[in-house]
Amino acid sequence: MTEFWESSFQDKQTMWGFEPAEAAVSTATFFQSQGLKNILIPGYGYGRNAKVFTDRGFAVTGIEISETAIGIAKRHYGDSIHVYHGSVTDMPFDHQTYDGIFCHALIHLLDVTQRRKLLQDCYRQLRPDGYMVFVAISKNTPTFGEGVEISKDRFETRHGVQLFYYDAASVEKEFGSYGLIEAVEIDEPATPTGGKPSQKFWQITCRKK
């Protein structure tokens, strides 16, 4: 996976533009309303979703598998955010607890064992009464079923990316033990651009008891 994302960022650089995902904006608003301050972002990328948090005064720590992506982030946003270089499958990178965790479009790239470990690791690093929000691709997105089927609801695309598509049952199964309080389907982007249709995702919110 490291080689894939390193090559992708070297080739496509800022492939998603600089506007944050709508889910990042809504999560930042929600975290702010709950008085959260210290945020972990596994799957930091080149920082486009982190900026909406830092602009609102959050202290952000990132985890990113691609050294190229981290370099892009530093060039565009400076180096004030500490980003651990490595895979989320190697968490934890520190022993801090965080008020909130935001993980956008990453968990569905992992296999079942890796997904379980990511949830366990994030939950351990979440302080009591803290919140974590995951954005994961839905079976109701137009691309569901494309590519080579690896296992139930998991497919490898023609680009070599492996995706696990969630439905309500699999959201409950995987997140139910981690303080699941809400799961809603969203469109990203909310307004299609460039002639490309939006994709359907689950925005999944958990609270640590």
> What pLDDT score was predicted for residue 9?
59
Angle at 118 between CA 114 and CA 119, to 5 degrees: 120
The dihedral built from the CA positions of residue 110, 115, 121 and 126, taken in this order, carries a sign that is: positive
165 CA to centre of own chain: 14
Structure tokens at 163: 């995706």
pLDDT of residue 194: 62
Amino acid 5 reads W
> What is the fold, at CATH topology level, of the domain defined by 4-208?
Rossmann fold (3.40.50)
Cα–Cα dist 208/205, whole Å: 10
pLDDT of residue 1: 61
pLDDT at 79: 82
The ranges of the chain with pLDDT < 70 are 1-18, 77, 191-195
Q: What is the percent of the chain with per-residue pLDDT over 70, rounded to a whole number?
A: 88
pLDDT of residue 15: 53
Please state the domain extents for the chain: 4-208
